[in-house]
Structure 1
Amino acid sequence: MTKQIKTTLALGLMASTALTGAALAQDKSVTIASWGGSYQEAQSKALFEPAAENTGIEVKQETYGGMSDVRLQVSSGQVTLDIVASGSGSASRAAAEGLLEPLDYDVIDVSTFYPGLYSDYCIGGDVFSVVAAWNTDTYGDAGPQNWADFFDTEKFPGTRAYRGTVSGALEPALMADGVAPEDVYEVLSSEEGIERALDKIRELKPHIAVFWSSGAQHAQLMKDGEVDMTTGWNGRFDNAAKDGGKVSYTFNQALLDYDCFAIPKGAPNKDTAMEFLAEISKAEYQDDLPKYITYGPTNKAAYETGEISAEVAASLPSSPENAAKQLPISLEWYAEWEQVAAEMYQEMLTE
């Protein structure tokens, strides 16, 4: 065999090996479902797109309606989603129903995560707050400073929007009714306590123009000036304000919560999904999220990379000063009571 032939064969083998490696990288893919709007756009820019580029994993994005979609896929045996964004409470209940795969923390490193911001079935992606927001054209800077103000239609006349599902809807009503934040979940741990919260919402109901169903919706309501105040997620309001919306809010008595990523039971690309979750949980991705939406990282090492300035950190829900004003969501309560409370809430909405 001549030297030229040997060289040609060697080059061909190298090219073949390179192509095989590229093909293997291209074979890895995950389908991720989130909630759309400015939130998913921020996730995409900070997490999904750069992680896809760095790992070679192809990412297909969808929007979805929450764990009800996962329940339908799992029960039908036709699971198409590999990773879903979820509220922490919804994920807790979905895990209890057997709808999620357990996460492998030998693959996903949570050694620098804040305590409590991950579970056996869901890994925290961001920290956010459910706040009371108001239209600054209507109230200027003197909007509602607590939930009692939000529910006071004499002191603050005007139209409201409120959560159309039970998550984050009952706690503000109880605080407005005089229950101390530290006692809220104790009171809610009975049907009588849930009914007390519902009665408070019933009082406000004539002034509620919209029961919102998504973050994109409540942000648009404020951006368009369709309501004078609403409950909702702080980051959505910050983005609405950047887009010219006349909106402000307070962290006082807000609900401190986190969103997380989960893998549906029977996900077609479970191992790749686990690998991808490990990647987007790193500080080098999480420190970019506040550039696109003002939600705090769950990986505390993200505050140490130099990407998050002290000024930006002070505006995030998980900063110590802001966190101290808020009521942390109780996953234990949602796991035990969400189904009962959700049924009672829907009955109230249809009255």
Structure 2
Amino acid sequence: MNHKIALTVAASLLATTALAQDKSLTVASWGGSYQDAQSKALFEPYEAATGVTVKQESYGGMSDVRLQVTSGQVTLDVVASGSGSAARAGAEGLLEPLDYDVIDVSRFPDSFYSEYCVGGDVFSVVPAYSTETYGDNGPRGWVDFFDTEKFPGSRGYRGTVAGALEPAMMALGVAPEDVYAELDSEEGIERALDKIRELKPNIAVFWTSGAQHAQLMKDGEVDMTTGWNGRFDNAAADGAAVSYNFDQGLLDYDCFAIPKGAPNKDLAMAFIAEISKPEYQDDLPKFITYGPTNGAAYETGEITEEVAASLPSSPANMAVQLPISLEWYAKWEPIAAEMYQEMLTE
């Protein structure tokens, strides 16, 4: 009898192991050096630790999720998203609420997770500049970026409204802590747009992806551009003559979300819980200079003081930046996006 029970238990364990090996998740991100870093620091170690296969895709953002959810043909289990996009998608009913009994966010700042999305990394929108053009004396903050007399040269600028209005408002002399109050009306949005209109003759490219703005600097196509700090660091590592600082940077985070009706919802929740642990997050800066959202990742010994100084979420760098307001984007982005597109086509 005991022998039979032992055989049954052994057979059950073998079946469970086989099932784990057959499990797979489909995870979508944005490609380029960012997804490469995620793959090396998060996705591949997760596969090794769990035996679950991560099928990676690159996607176009929440518009792809909306199409899948509204058509009832959801194939994605987990998506990487900007925090603002996830907040809007969650309000629209496109995402599953996250289970924070499963996902441990006890060491996450409150601003780095929400009902529908949990932060995976912290990045900054910064003014980057060509060291061939300006040496070590490039722009510090947005007043300098918009000053074409002090800093002549061509610019790159965001082709969508996300992260585009705040620099213009600070270039008008508005204190960072007052930016969103000043943008809390169509008149305020128009003020920021007018400032971008002034700069527009010097804007050679309105970029639409991280890969694009990094390539602009690698190719020397523009003398300075807005963009995401980690992309510039990777471009510099590839030989680009590019530098930046965090003064008045826009502090934001990317996050992970689960589309409504995901085919493997429970496994997706467990996946997010696993890769949110500090022993995963502390590896991401080895591949791209985005900071961890889990504060415990700074305590594992993997992130040196030198590396921490280059990360957006280190205390010193957070202190000189403006955190993105998800509340403002939830309220104003549809209107602001339409106004922004009108400005682009003038």
Same fold? TM cut 0.5: yes
Please show how residues 210-221 of structure 1 align to structure 2 within 5 Å: 210-221=205-216
Q: Residue in 2 aligned with 1:307?
A: 302
Q: Residue in 2 aligned with 1:254?
A: 249
Match of 2:287 among 288, 292, 306: 292
Indicate yes or no: 2:281 matched with 1:274: no
Q: Residue in 1 aligned with 2:194?
A: 199
Match of 1:177 among 172, 179, 185: 172
Secondary structure of the residue that 2:344 maps to in structure 1? helix
Task: Return 5+ residue gaps in structure 1 as ranges.
Answer: 1-5
The percentage of aligned residue pairs carrying the same residue is: 79
Q: Residue in 2 aligned with 1:56?
A: 51
Indicate yes or no: 2:159 matched with 1:164: yes
Shift of 1:27: 3.2
Secondary structure of the residue that 2:21 maps to in structure 1? helix
Deviations along 1:202-221, whole A, 9 cap, x unmatched? 11111111111111111111
Superposition RMSD on alpha carbons, in Å?
1.6
Q: Residue in 2 aligned with 1:340?
A: 335
Structure 1 length-normalised TM: 0.95
Q: Residue in 2 aligned with 1:3?
A: none
One-letter code aligned to 2:319: A
Deviations along 1:270-312, whole A, 9 cap, x unmatched? 1110010000000000000110011110000101111001111
Q: Distance in 1 between matches of 2:345 and 2:146?
A: 20
Deviations along 1:98-144, whole A, 9 cap, x unmatched? 11100001111111112221011000001111000001001101111
Q: Distance in 2 between matches of 1:54 and 1:267?
A: 23
One-letter code aligned to 1:121: Y
Q: Residue in 1 aligned with 2:105?
A: 110
Secondary structure of the residue that 1:253 maps to in structure 2? coil
Shift of 1:10: 9.6
Structure 2 length-normalised TM: 0.96
Deviations along 1:211-259, whole A, 9 cap, x unmatched? 1111111111111111110000001101110110100001001001111
Please show how residues 26-65 of structure 1 align to structure 2 within 5 Å: 26-65=21-60
Q: Report the structure number with the largest CA radius of gyration.
A: 1
Secondary structure of the residue that 2:112 maps to in structure 1? coil
Indicate yes or no: 2:71 matched with 1:76: yes
Q: Distance in 2 between matches of 1:12 and 1:93?
A: 52
Indicate yes or no: 2:321 matched with 1:323: no
Q: Distance in 1 between matches of 2:135 and 2:189?
A: 34
Q: Distance in 2 between matches of 1:66 and 1:261?
A: 12
Q: Residue in 1 aligned with 2:95?
A: 100
Q: Distance in 2 between matches of 1:154 and 1:65?
A: 37
Which 4+ runs in 1 deviate beyond 6 A? Answer: 9-15
One-letter code aligned to 2:233: D
Q: Residue in 2 aligned with 1:232?
A: 227
Match of 1:142 among 134, 137, 142: 137
One-letter code aligned to 1:88: S
Shift of 1:16: 4.6
Q: Residue in 2 aligned with 1:190?
A: 185
One-letter code aligned to 1:311: E
Number of residue pairs the alignment of both structures matches? 345
Task: Return 5+ residue gaps in structure 2 as ranges.
Answer: none
